[in-house]
Structure formats: structure tokens, C-alpha cells
């Protein structure tokens, strides 16, 4: 089947290995790689290999399930036994900067009780 790709999208290029990244987990549907500008001791991004703008852009249930599985694999690989936080940004108010759906996995230290 046809892959959904945006030729100008940096995360599409990471998904296709055209741009290098530190890969933490990968399967047919998703890839997880360390954020270039980490906001916590562990800061890994989980993305679908297909291009969707954000969490509301018609992401198939199978892909969402693969992302959930990838989060579990990241937590295992990074030793996040005391927990972690998952964040996804959509749109301007959330400060989304890369318009390819991604989930941030943050952890490796106590993150505090607030959401922000
Ligand atoms: P957003 O603000 O869109 O939710 O988050 C985008 C994230 O992607 C940021 O945390 C930023 O550091 C990260 N990022 C942007 N470009 C690259 C890149 O080329 N490689 C990697 N590994 N991370 C990137
Ligand atoms: Zn993309």
C-alpha cells in the first residue's frame, strides 16, 4: 500500500532513515528516537512512519496501538521503572512545531505533579 509521506517533513525523513537519529525502537508502523533537544533525562519521541499532522488527523487504530506498544518498549529500553509522562501537542496554542504527529515520552527524574 502507498506510504503517506510529506517530502518536506523532517520526521518523515527520520522515519525513512534519510536523516539520522538515535533510534530507541522501530517496527513496521512506528519509530521511536531521542529528541534533539531533551527536556528531561529521558526525552524520546514516538511517531507513526506514515505522515499525519497530529493526533486528530485520522490516525488508524492499528497505528495508535503500535504507538502505545512503542511507548512501552521505550520505557523498558530506558529503564523508566518509576514512571514517565506522555505529551502530544496539536496546533498553535499547544506550541506544536513539527507538523508530523508525535508523542513525547519524558522521564528519568521526578517530573512534578502539574501538567505544565
Ligand atoms: P513539538 O513542539 O512539535 O511537540 O515537538 C517537536 C520536538 O521535535 C521538539 O522537542 C524538538 O526538539 C524535536 N525535534 C525537532 N527537529 C528534530 C530533529 O531533526 N531530530 C530530533 N531527534 N528531534 C527533533
Ligand atoms: Zn511527516
Separation of 69 CA from ligand 2 center, angstroms?
20
pLDDT attached to residue 2? 67
pLDDT digits (tens, 9 = 90+) for 72-99: 999 999 999 999 999 999 999 999 999 9
| Sign of CA pseudo-dihedral 112, 32, 53, 6 | positive
CB of 10 closer than 6 A to ligand 1? yes
Ligand 1 binding pocket mutation candidate from 45, 74, 103 (most atoms within 8 A of CB): 45
Which residues does the annotation mark as catalytic? 102
- Residue ranges and CATH numbers for the domains of the chain are 10-107 (3.30.428.10)
SS3 track for the chain: CCCCCCCCCHHHHHHCCCCCCCEEEECCCEEEEECCCCCCCEEEEEEECCCCCCCCCCCCHHHHHHHHHHHHHHHHHHCCCCCEEEECCCHHHHCCCCCCCCEEEEECCCCCCCCC
pTM for this predicted structure: 0.97
Q: Give the residue from 109, 70, 116, 65 showing the smallest Cα distance to 95.
A: 116
pLDDT attached to residue 1? 58
pLDDT digits (tens, 9 = 90+) for 95-112: 999 999 999 999 999 999
CB of 25 closer than 6 A to ligand 1? no
Q: What is the largest CA-CA distance in the chain?
A: 43
pLDDT digits (tens, 9 = 90+) for 10-65: 999 999 999 999 999 999 999 999 999 999 999 999 999 999 999 999 999 999 99
pLDDT at 115 over 90: no
CB of 81 closer than 6 A to ligand 1? no
Separation of 26 CA from ligand 2 center, angstroms?
16
pLDDT attached to residue 15? 98
Cα–Cα distances in angstroms (integers) from residue 12 to residues 4, 27, 54, 105, 109, in the given order: 9, 15, 13, 19, 30
Query: Does the predicted interface ipTM exceed a cut of 0.85?
Result: yes
pLDDT attached to residue 114? 87
Amino acid at each position: 500500500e502507498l506510504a503517506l509521506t510529506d517530502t518536506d517533513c523532517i520526521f518523515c525523513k527520520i522515519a525513512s532513515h534519510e536523516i539520522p537519529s538515535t533510534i530507541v525502537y522501530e517496527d513496521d508502523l512506528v519509530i521511536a528516537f531521542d529528541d534533539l533537544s531533551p527536556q528531561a533525562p529521558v526525552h524520546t519521541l514516538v511517531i507513526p512512519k506514515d505522515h499525519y499532522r497530529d493526533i486528530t488527523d485520522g490516525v488508524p487504530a492499528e497505528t495508535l496501538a503500535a504507538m502505545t506498544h512503542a511507548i512501552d518498549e521505550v520505557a523498558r529500553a530506558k529503564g523508566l521503572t518509576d514512571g514517565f509522562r506522555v505529551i502530544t501537542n496539536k496546533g498553535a496554542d499547544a506550541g506544536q512545531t513539527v507538523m508530523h504527529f508525535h508523542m513525547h515520552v519524558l522521564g528519568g527524574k521526578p517530573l512534578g505533579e502539574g501538567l505544565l
